[in-house]
Structures are given as C-alpha cells and as structure tokens.
Amino acid sequence: MACDSWRAKLDAYADGQLPEEEMRSFDRHVHACPSCSSEALGRYQMKRAVQGAGKRFAPSAEFRRKMERRVATKSQRGLPLGWAILAAAMVLLVAGALTSNYLQTRSARKQVFSEIADLHVATMASSSPVDVVSTDRHTVKPWFQGRIPFAFNLPELQGTAFTLVGGRVSYLEQTPGAQLIYDVRKHHISVFIFPETGLRAGLGERPVPPGAATFNMKTWSQGGLRYFVIGDASAADIDSLAKLLQGK
C-alpha cells in the first residue's frame, strides 16, 4: 500500500527520532493523509499513557556502592553500625524523595507538551477543525464568551503573513480553553489558551525542552493565562506569531 513506508516509521516519528528533513516530510504527509493522521494520534496517545504511568526512583548501583563505602568508613571511625545503617537509609530516602519529585515534575511538564501536540494533531485530522469559522477577530473572540471561563485578547493581523481561520473549545487536563487556528504560507498553527491555575504541571517561564514535542512550539504565561503556539510552520513563524500574541 502507498502508506506502508510511512507507517513503518510512525514510532520513530512520534519519538522525534527521524532526521529533520524527514520529520518535515512526515509532517506534511500526516496532515494530508487521514489514515496516517489517525495512526499518528494513536501513537501519541500511547506514548502519553506510558509517560503518565509513573516513574519511580531507584538508586543506581554506583550510588549504593558509594553509600556502602560511607557506612563502612563511619563504622571504622567508631560510629555504631546500627546508627551508620540508619543514617545511610535516611540519606537514601531523602535522595529518593527529591529525585522522585524532580522526575515527576519533569514528566508532568513533558506530558502537558505531549497532550498539546495530540490536541493539535487531532484538530488537523478532523473534518471540522473549527467550530467558529471567520478571519475576523471581532467575530471569533466573542464566540468564546460563555463557553470558557476567561477572556483573552487577539492581535490585529493586518499587514502580517498570518490569517485567522477560526476557533474551537479544547480541553487540557479537563480544563476548558480556547484553540485558535492560524494559517501562514500553507501551514497550520494552533494557539491554545488555558487558565494557568487549571494546569497541574508548573511550566514556569522555561522554554520548551528539545524533543518535548514533534512540532515547533512556544509557551508562556501572561495575565494568568498559559499560551501554547504549535504547528509545522517554521520556528521563525511560530516565534513571530507568539510575539504578536504577546503584543511585542
């Protein structure tokens, strides 16, 4: 079948392990092929489920050997063996708790980015990607009133390369938010807006880590709202739209 060669690379595509040029070609194919779009979404959802299963910290063999050497040294210096073992156990517990908390926080942040990518792919694969169709921000923005629990501003796009296509309500961690679709040079960009307090993962102001999403993405917090700009457009276009939304 025509798509067999693409499907053979779906796992590598979902993991972001294909060469950059091949990733771009795959993006174009996925957005044009409903069948591969559906299978790609399935891969993203499976990947998200695995990530969300939880990662528990287990001290490495090297760390254990280091602690055993410390216990032996302290025992030789006169510290009762029972107290030395207790002290080592406490160190292991504290180190495990701190590392587990760090890993859980990092995993939660990656899961948010993964869910945003899933939402974008699902929208692009939908036969009706937007619920309100209009290039006029004065039509799209009022449509969200009463549908989401917050208000937001939209930039004036006249004289830019971006065209507003429309919008829809999306859900992230069961929190309703706005999803806006923009076009730029035949590429589609999703802009997601959610209340910051509705997200479990503290994203802060750190940039999206490399490999966290298979699309170019920008995220920031502004006025209590969390913005995500994601799409297969160039990083420069994603950054330009982000700056327009920030009023820069």
Same structural domain for residues 48 and 69? no
pLDDT digits (tens, 9 = 90+) for 154-167: 988 989 999 999 99
Give 99 or 33, the one with higher predicted confidence: 33
Same structural domain for residues 77 and 44? no
- Answer whether residue 244 is part of any domain: no
- Answer whether residue 8 is part of any domain: yes
How many C-beta neighbours within 10 Å does residue 105 have? 13
Confidence of residue 181 (pLDDT cuts 50, 70, 90): very high
Res 110 pLDDT > 60: yes
pLDDT digits (tens, 9 = 90+) for 126-177: 888 899 999 999 999 999 999 999 999 998 898 999 999 999 999 987 889 9
Structural domain including 49 reads 1-53
In angstroms and rounded to an integer, the radius of gyration of the C-alpha atoms of the chain is 23
Same structural domain for residues 11 and 32? yes
Q: Is 248 exposed, middle or buried (0-12, 13-18, 19+ CB in 10 A)?
A: exposed
Res 204 pLDDT > 60: no
- Answer whether residue 148 is part of any domain: no
Q: How far lies 42's CA from each of 66, 107, 114, 204, 210, in Å?
A: 43, 20, 12, 29, 22
Same structural domain for residues 49 and 70? no
pTM score of the predicted model? 0.58
Mean pLDDT on 114-129: 87
Listed residues 72, 102, 132: the one ending a domain: 102
Instruction: Check: CB of residue 199 under 8 Å from CB of residue 188.
Output: no
Report the SS3 class of residue 68: helix
Res 98 pLDDT > 80: no
- Answer whether residue 86 is part of any domain: yes
Number of domains in the chain: 2
Q: What is the pLDDT of residue 101?
A: 43
In angstroms, the CA 131 to CA 108 distance is 30
Q: What is the pLDDT of residue 60?
A: 65
Pair type for strands 175-184 and 132-133: unpaired
Listed residues 13, 32, 53: the one ending a domain: 53
